[in-house]
């Protein structure tokens, strides 16, 4: 054992973590292939009282999954999928959700982890459907013991988010409610977009993921929401590798002078307007001077479930206040 | 490895060093200071905000007493220069200075070329302290001081203290091999606890990770004033002991016959180096390689006496880290590259070049 080891193990671990985080960040890129549910279920036009016909085959990120009968014991290891399931009326079929699934409050939260899933602990819940956002070998392991797994990875676009809702609807026998939810989300979002005044110059925004100035660019899911609202993300210049995420220099953020700062690190890192204003050099930023530092809910801002409508509403309200130049 | 490394290396005894030509020594000082000045200038002029060189120069001149010039910089640009770039340079300098000085001191105190400031568990302890706060302190606003640096500082001191106490109670003579092995054990233990806590709180993963990789990017004058007293005190103690470090090089037994209390000297040197390391790690995170490559580069180019290694390492360490930070903020501008990546990526090959040139000649 080398005397270096203390330091090297730190570096190695830091690198390993880096890869892990990079994997988390890029997992969204594979989700572009998420398909609309192909299903034998009754079309949405029919009433929701119609009993769904099983078996049902759903295409999710890891391929075709066939459910022999309507699942009655669903385990969700993805906070977004949990929100989706409850929003489409499949909540009563959910028996356990992971430790990060804190919404809706009545979801049956357990100490199961979607981050380091334990196959035995999941199997102990005797599920007839498991929903995860990252596979990591879990679907292979659970399929061996004949538990179907749906992989619903981080959405890359709003369409991804919609198709995941529909996949979950098809799988759980709530296709009609899923279609209604998607239609309602589409409606509300287009109303929000239409409510914004037209501007000659797009307002510049900075979306903060943590206080070391990690940020998301327009190529990420969250970044696309800003683009949808006609805002210009200051991080776009920094993302040369196209990973969608980067850590900005403080002097760049100050110099870029965003009109609105969105903090998605209010829960993790307790950031707020006062703390941001006290950062060296930040008091001169337009957003800080105007008080346009918007506290987002970290959870909502990192998920792609039904509450993106709430998120977009918060963003819209803040952007509407930006004075025309 | 600790056992073989603890054997005294075949070096010249201190009296030989004293007879080296003083004229030759001067060029090393001049070179070190020139590199430091160059690093500071690079730090001032280079950055993603793209401030004009002329404006920066005029603004600097305008700060001199009795000089009134208008630099043409906007208030935002002045804020970038004085509140973001300047403290970053000063803090980078202090951190590099301290890590290089601590590395050199550890190498001297343990007569071990592989020693670095994190050897006795300072990094593992600081990492555990920071992780505990990130994972368990629900809110940090409202605290009189930022608890993360405080916990990192206490963790670093605690880890080294535990290693030292464990070693000296097991082995009354306080041999360096025992202390090193105790340090390795303590570091492994603290790292295990830290990893466990971090895995239990996967939501805190990115924060812990970015703390471990090290950063100067978001620091201000506040951090500078926070670490300055510790760096000053620690540096003073280490510089006072640089002659004793030279005596230690001949081996514990021989040093004792020369009237040096080796255990006490080692305790004071390690204590001072640890205090300084804990302070800088608390604000900058774990920045690696500085403490090992800077003292060795100095040793390979300027000679083996600690009267030279220690002060030259301080200057060299400051210059190296300021330059590494310039690279960190310009390489992928306006994105940042973690400074720990830069110190290893550029530092390690540079060190290999120095090593090869030295071995050939």
- Per residue in A186-238, pLDDT (tens digit) is 999 999 999 998 888 899 999 999 888 989 998 899 999 999 999 999 998 87
pLDDT of B252: 79
In which band, very low, low, confident or very high, does the pLDDT at B143 lie, cut at 50, 70 and 90? low
Q: Summarize pLDDT for B86-141 with one digit per residue, the tens.
A: 999 999 999 999 999 999 999 998 888 888 888 888 989 999 998 898 888 756 55
pLDDT of residue A199: 85
Token output for B216: 């100067």
Q: Quick check: pTM over 0.95?
A: no
Q: What are phi and psi of B289, to 5 degrees?
A: 75, -25
pLDDT, position B266: 87
For residue A75, give the 3-state DSSP assignment.
strand
pLDDT tens digits, B170-202:
877 767 788 888 999 999 999 999 999 988 887
Q: Give the residue ranges of DSSP H helices in chain A.
A: 5-30, 79-87, 119-123, 138-144, 158-172, 175-195, 221-228, 250-256, 273-278, 286-289, 298-301, 308-320
Cβ A251–B121 below 8 Å, yes or no?
no
Contact A291, A321 (CB under 8 A): no
Beta-carbon separation of A246 and B332 below 8 A = yes
Residue with tokens 């200038």: B41
Mean pLDDT across the stretch B228-237? 95
Token pair in block for residue A1 = 């054992």
Does residue B1 have a pLDDT over 70?
A: no
Measured between alpha carbons, how far is B196 from A321 in angstroms, rounded to an integer? Answer: 45
B99 has a chain A CB within 8 A of its CB: no
CB atoms within 10 A of CB A128: 18
Over residues B212-229, the mean pLDDT reads 85
Percentage of chain B modeled with pLDDT above 70: 90
Closest-CA residue in chain B for A25? B206
Under DSSP, the state recorded for A244 is S
Q: Which two tokens stand for residue B296?
A: 């060795």
A205 to chain B nearest CA, in Å?
A: 15
Coil, strand or helix: which one is A258?
A: coil
Question: Parallel, antiparallel, or unpaired for β A204-210 and A232-233?
Answer: parallel
DSSP helix/strand/coil, A194: helix
CA distance A31 to A153: 6
What string of H, E and C letters represents the secondary structure of chain B? CHHHHHCCCCCCCHHHHHCCCHHHHHHHHHHHHHHHHHHHHHHHHCCCCCCCHHHHHHHHHHCCCCCCCCCCCCHHHHHHHHHHHHHHHHHHHHHHHHHHHHHHHHHHHCCCCCCCCCCCCHHHHHHHHHHHHHHHCCCCCCCCCCHHHHHHHHHHHHHHHHHHHHHHHHCCCCCHHHHHHHHHHHHHHHHHHHHHHHHHCHHHHHHHHHHHHCCCCCCCHHHHHHHHHHHHHHHHHHHHCHHHHHHHCCCHHHHHHCCCCHHHHHHHHHHHHHHHHHHHHHHHCCCCCHHHHHHHHHHHHHCCCHHHHHHHHHHHHHHHHHHHHHHHHHCCCCECCCHHHHHHHHHHHHHHHHHHHHHHC
Q: What is the pLDDT of residue A149?
A: 92
State ipTM.
0.79
Look at A254 and B335 and tell me if their CB atoms are within 8 Å.
no
**Per-residue pLDDT, B140:** 56
Q: Which residue has the tokens 């030989």?
A: B16
For position A4, what pLDDT does the model report? 39
A275 is written with which tokens?
Answer: 């703390």
Task: Give, to the nearest 10 degrees, the angle between helix B147-170 and helix B122-136.
Answer: 140
Between B346 and B9, name the one with better pLDDT.
B346
Mean pLDDT value across chain B: 84
Quick check: A128 and A74 in contact, CB under 8 A?
A: yes
Distance of alpha carbon A277 from alpha carbon A152, whole angstroms: 38
Contacts of A246 in chain B (CB under 8 A): 332, 335-336
Q: Pick from B123, B153, B32, B96: which is nearest to B343 by CA?
A: B96
Q: Report CB contact under 8 Å: A6, B207.
A: no
- Average pLDDT for B231-253: 90
Tens digits of residue pLDDT in B315-326? 999 999 999 999
Sorting pLDDT into bands at 50, 70 and 90, what band is B5? very low
Distance (Å, whole) CA A71 – CA A90: 9
Task: Give the pLDDT of residue A325.
Answer: 64
Q: What is the pLDDT of residue B9?
A: 47
Signed CA dihedral, B33, B36, B38, B41: sign only:
negative
Kindly determine whether residue B329 and residue A254, on different chains, have CB atoms separated by under 8 Å: no
The answer to whether B111 contacts chain A (CB < 8 Å) is no
Q: What is the pLDDT of residue A307?
A: 95
B54 pLDDT tier (thresholds 50, 70, 90): confident
pLDDT bracket for residue B144 (50, 70, 90): low
Parallel, antiparallel or unpaired: strands A63-67 and A56-60: antiparallel
Identify from A79, A210, A252 which residue to disrupt to test chain B contact, counting B C-beta atoms within 10 A and taking the largest count. A252
- CB-count exposure of residue B79 (10 Å: 0-12, 13-18, 19+): buried
Of A214, A250, A256, the CB nearest to B84: A250
**Contact between chains at B329 and A251 (C-beta distance less than 8 A):** yes
* pLDDT number for residue B146: 76
CB atoms < 10 A from the CB of A51, how many?
Answer: 8
Q: Specify the residue for token string 């050199």.
A: B104
pLDDT at position B358 is 67
Distance from CA of A6 to the nearest CA of B (A): 6
Cβ pairs A/B, distance under 8 A: 167
Q: Which of A16, A22, A241, A247 to mutate to test the interface with B (most CBs of B within 10 A)?
A: A247
The residues pairing with A233 across neighbouring beta strands, listed in sequence order, are: A205
- Whether residue B116 and residue A4 make contact (CB cut-off 8 A), yes or no, is yes
Interface check B2 vs A, CB under 8 A = yes
Nearest to A14 by CA among B44, B338, B223, B99: B338
Q: Which of A17-31, B20-34, B216-230 has the lowest mean pLDDT?
A: A17-31
Give the closest residue to A101 by CA, choosing from A91, A114, A90.
A114
Residue whose pair of structure tokens reads 């605690």 in the numeric block: B158
* Chain A positions in Cβ-Cβ contact with residue B202 (cut-off 8 Å): 100, 113, 115-116
In this complex, do A7 and B195 lie within 8 Å of one another by their Cβ atoms? no
- Nearest-by-CA chain B residue for A211: B218
Q: How far apart are CA A128 and CA A147, in angstroms?
A: 6
Q: Choose among A143, A175, A153: nearest CA to A37.
A: A175
Residues of chain A with confidence (pLDDT) below 70: 1-52, 325
pLDDT of res. B303: 84
Token pair belonging to B212: 């471990």
Enter the tokens of residue A59. 């295409």
Question: Of A303, A124, A102, which is closest to residue A220 (Cα–Cα)?
Answer: A303
| Residue B351 vs residue B46, higher pLDDT | B46
In chain B, positions 189-218, which contact chain A (CB-CB < 8 Å)? 191, 195, 199, 202-207, 209-210, 212-213, 215, 217-218
Find the distance separating the first CA and the last CA of chain A, reported in whole Å. Answer: 63
Q: Which residues contact A102 (CB under 8 A, 6 or more apart)?
A: A79, A109, A299
Sign of CA dihedral B344, B346, B350, B352: positive
A251 CB neighbours in chain B (<8 A) are 47-49, 80, 84-85, 329
């Amino acid at each position: 054992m080398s005397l270096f080891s203390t330091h090297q193990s730190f570096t190695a671990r830091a690198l390993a973590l880096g890869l892990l985080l990079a994997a988390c960040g890029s997992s969204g890129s594979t989700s572009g292939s998420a398909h609309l549910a192909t299903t034998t279920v009754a079309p949405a036009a029919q009433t929701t009282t119609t009993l769904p016909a099983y078996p049902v085959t759903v295409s999710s990120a890891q391929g075709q999954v066939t459910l022999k009968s309507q699942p009655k014991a669903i385990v969700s290891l993805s906070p977004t999928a949990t929100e989706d399931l409850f929003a489409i009326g499949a909540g009563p079929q959910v028996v356990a959700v992971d430790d990060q699934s804190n919404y809706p409050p009545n979801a049956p939260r357990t100490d199961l982890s979607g981050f380091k899933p334990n196959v035995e602990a999941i199997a102990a819940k005797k599920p007839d459907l498991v929903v995860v956002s990252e596979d990591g070998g879990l679907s292979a392991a659970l399929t061996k013991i004949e538990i179907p797994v749906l992989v619903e990875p981080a959405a890359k676009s709003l369409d991804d988010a919609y198709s995941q809702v529909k996949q979950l609807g098809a799988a759980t026998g709530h296709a009609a409610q899923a279609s209604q939810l998607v239609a309602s989300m589409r409606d509300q979002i287009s109303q929000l977009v239409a409510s914004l005044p037209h501007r000659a110059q797009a307002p510049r925004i900075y979306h903060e993921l943590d206080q070391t100035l990690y940020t998301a660019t327009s190529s990420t899911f969250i970044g696309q929401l800003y683009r949808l609202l006609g805002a210009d993300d200051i991080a776009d210049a920094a993302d040369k590798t196209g990973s969608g995420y980067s850590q900005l220099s403080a002097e760049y953020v100050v110099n870029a002078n965003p009109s609105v700062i969105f903090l998605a690190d209010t829960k993790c890192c307790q950031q707020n307007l006062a703390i941001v204003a006290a950062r060296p050099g930040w008091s001169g930023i337009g957003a800080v001077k105007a008080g346009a530092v918007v506290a987002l809910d970290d959870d909502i801002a990192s998920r792609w479930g039904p509450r993106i409508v709430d998120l977009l509403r918060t963003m819209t309200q803040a952007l509407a206040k930006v004075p025309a130049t | 490895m600790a056992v073989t490394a603890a054997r005294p290396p075949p070096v010249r005894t201190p009296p030989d060093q004293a007879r080296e030509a003083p004229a030759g020594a001067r060029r090393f000082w001049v070179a070190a200071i020139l590199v430091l000045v160059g690093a500071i200038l690079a730090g001032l002029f280079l950055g993603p905000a793209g401030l004009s060189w002329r404006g920066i120069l005029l603004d600097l001149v305008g700060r001199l007493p009795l000089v009134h010039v208008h630099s043409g910089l906007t208030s935002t640009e002045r804020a970038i220069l004085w509140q973001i770039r300047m403290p970053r340079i000063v803090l980078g300098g202090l951190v590099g200075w301290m890590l290089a000085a601590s590395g050199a001191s550890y190498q001297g105190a343990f007569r071990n070329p592989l020693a670095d400031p994190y050897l006795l568990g300072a990094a593992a302890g600081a990492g555990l302290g920071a992780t505990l706060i990130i994972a368990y302190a629900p809110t940090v606003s409202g605290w009189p001081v930022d608890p993360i640096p405080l916990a990192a500082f206490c963790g670093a001191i605690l880890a080294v203290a535990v290693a030292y106490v464990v070693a000296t109670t097991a082995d009354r003579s306080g041999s360096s091999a025992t202390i090193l092995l105790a340090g390795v054990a303590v570091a492994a233990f603290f790292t295990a606890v830290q990893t466990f806590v971090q895995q239990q709180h996967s939501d805190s993963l990115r924060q812990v990770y970015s703390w471990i990789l090290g950063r100067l990017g978001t620091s201000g004058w506040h951090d500078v004033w926070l670490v300055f007293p510790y760096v000053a005190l620690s540096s003073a103690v280490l510089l006072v002991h640089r002659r004793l470090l030279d005596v230690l090089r001949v081996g514990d037994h021989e040093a004792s016959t020369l009237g040096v209390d080796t255990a006490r000297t080692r305790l004071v040197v390690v204590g001072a180096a640890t205090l300084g390391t804990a302070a800088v790690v608390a604000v900058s995170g774990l920045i690696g390689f500085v403490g090992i490559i800077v003292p060795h580069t100095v040793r390979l180019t300027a000679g083996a006496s600690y009267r030279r290694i220690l002060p030259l390492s301080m200057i060299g360490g400051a210059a190296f880290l300021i330059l590494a930070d310039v690279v960190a903020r310009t390489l992928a501008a306006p994105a940042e590259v973690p400074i720990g990546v830069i110190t290893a990526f550029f530092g390690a090959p540079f060190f290999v070049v120095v090593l090869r040139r030295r071995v050939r000649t």
